[in-house]
Amino acid sequence: MARRWLDQEHEIFREAFRRYVQKEIAPHIAEWDQQGQVPREAWLALGRQGYLCPWLEERYGGSGADFGYSVIIIEEIARAGALSFMVGLHSDIVTPYLHAFANEEQRQRWLPGAASGQSILAIAMTEPDAGSDLQAMRATASKDGEHYLLNGSKTFISNGQCCDLVIVAAKTDLQADPARGGISLLVVEEGAPGFVKGNKLKKMGLHGQDTCEMVFSDCRVPAANLLGREGRGFAYMMEKLQQERLVCAVMSQAAAEAMLRWTVDYCQERRIFGRPVGQFQHNAFKLAEMATEVELGRAFLDELIEDHMAGRDIVSKVSMAKWWISEMANRVAYHGVQLHGGYGYMEEYPICRAYRDVRVHTIFAGTTEVMKSIIAKRMGL
């Protein structure tokens, strides 16, 4: 099926970026996993090449490119097995909040750093007792002169250790329904009084991605760092979740395609009982099933990318894609490890790392179960 949102310029860009990934990112994946973090220089290098936030206007340091270029960047990083390098989170999930809801002074202050890699971004919604249920959050922000006093804790914050700027969701009106005006978004900068980053959390996968807790104790945030209007935070988050979940689906799909390719290659090369592993009927059928699911995911995803780029409402469909493609990627990972045999359990094989890394895809940005709940509600159930 033709990827109708792609043109020749996209393909030229893909080839250039793929070469960059193979030279500058792929050789360091294992090292970054051991370090538990992608180094700052890797972000700066992406920024120098124009690979961060390419959709931003030139006055903010971007290239004014369409969302298709972001898709290519996310895909190629995932296909290299570098799922811990959360470029999509920085460029296409967090930065759009600043672009859409910040005033011009704030945009001038924050967006150029996001494009250059000098300012790594994160977003803090999840709390120890409030995950997908954003209305249950307990963090509060009360006005104190020209500042807000922010109190509460956040957890599972990706890019949490390395971030220079984090968008924090907090209740600014304890009496209001959170969905109708009780939540606001505050931009907290590194070094703010009362802002403490906890230790990196030890995770099953994504070992090179720094995830941590954050604690805010009478954290003084300038009132000028309020993002958009007070009380509009919940609406802002709902508005941006469509692209967030599409980005996650892109990551899962690209990872599934890479895992299938690695497994097919292995099954053609590895011999057992005198013939390639892939020539045994059971294994050949399993690979055929995996290839079919991957192709179905690609066809559906490309349709959604095209619709999203056209500005269409795809909340229901993107919720379907987010859960189905992430679950499919986990099936491909499972069978990929199995078909690799003992080698699939070895760290030197990328299928081993990918098996761990894609497990969280069914959890972050809204679990599979939450996605199904959204779909059911929009069906009138």
Residue 346 has which token pair?
């070895």
Q: Looking at the DSSP assignment, which residues form a beta bridge with residue 211?
A: 158
Is-catalytic flag, 239? Answer: no
For 308-329, the DSSP string reads: HHTT---HHHHHHHHHHHHHHH
Q: State the Cα–Cα distance between residues 88 and 102, nearest whole angstrom.
A: 20
57-60's contacts with Cβ under 8 Å and 24+ in sequence apart are: 60/99, 60/107, 60/108, 60/111, 60/112, 60/115
* Torsion sign, CA atoms 21, 205, 251, 108: negative
Query: Residue 196: what residue type?
Result: V
Q: State the Cα–Cα distance between residues 271 and 268, nearest whole angstrom.
A: 8
Q: State the Cα–Cα distance between residues 50 and 379, nearest whole angstrom.
A: 41
Q: Looking at the DSSP assignment, which residues form a beta bridge with residue 124?
A: 168
Between the alpha carbon of residue 282 and those of residues 267, 269, 279, 286, 288, the distances in Å are 12, 17, 9, 6, 10
Q: Which of 75, 244, 257, 293 is catalytic?
A: 244
Q: State the Cα–Cα distance between residues 325 and 139, nearest whole angstrom.
A: 33
For 31-41, give one letter per residue: b (16+ CB within 10 A) or e: ebbeebbbeee
Cα 208 to its chain centre, rounded Å, is 14
Active site residues: 244
